């Protein structure tokens, strides 16, 4: 999901995509979020990132039109 955010918004919102990548990487490094997303907390974080992705897509479409 982070890679998709980075790809989709790197041109429009480069700072946000890199910050989300840093947050996710930090959480993985501390063990809070793992690659398999097994814990309820990690699933919750994944849902938050998914919501952010949807919100950013909506903003991008509003600013630049749907492609």
Does pLDDT of 25 surpass 60?
Answer: yes
Residue 13: closest CA among 61, 67, 66, 45: 61
User: Count of domains in the chain?
Assistant: 1
One-character DSSP codes across 1-43: -HHHHHHHHTTT-HHHHHHHHHHHHHHHHHTSS-TT--SHHHH
Structural contact between residues 59 and 53, judged by C-beta atoms closer than 8 angstroms: no
Question: What pLDDT is stored for residue 58 in this prediction?
Answer: 79
Binning pLDDT at 50, 70 and 90, where does residue 14 land? low
Does pLDDT of 8 surpass 60?
Answer: no
* pTM of structure: 0.39
What's the domain range around 17? 2-64
Does pLDDT of 33 surpass 70?
Answer: no
Question: What pLDDT is stored for residue 31 in this prediction?
Answer: 67
Question: What pLDDT is stored for residue 63 in this prediction?
Answer: 78
d(CA 6, CA 35): 17
């Amino acid at each position: 999901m982070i890679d998709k955010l980075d790809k989709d918004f790197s041109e429009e919102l480069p700072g946000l995509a890199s910050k989300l990548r840093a947050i996710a990487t930090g959480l993985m490094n501390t063990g809070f979020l793992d690659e398999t997303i097994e814990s309820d907390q990690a699933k919750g974080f994944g849902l938050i990132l998914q919501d952010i992705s949807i919100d950013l897509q909506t903003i991008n479409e509003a600013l630049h039109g749907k492609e």
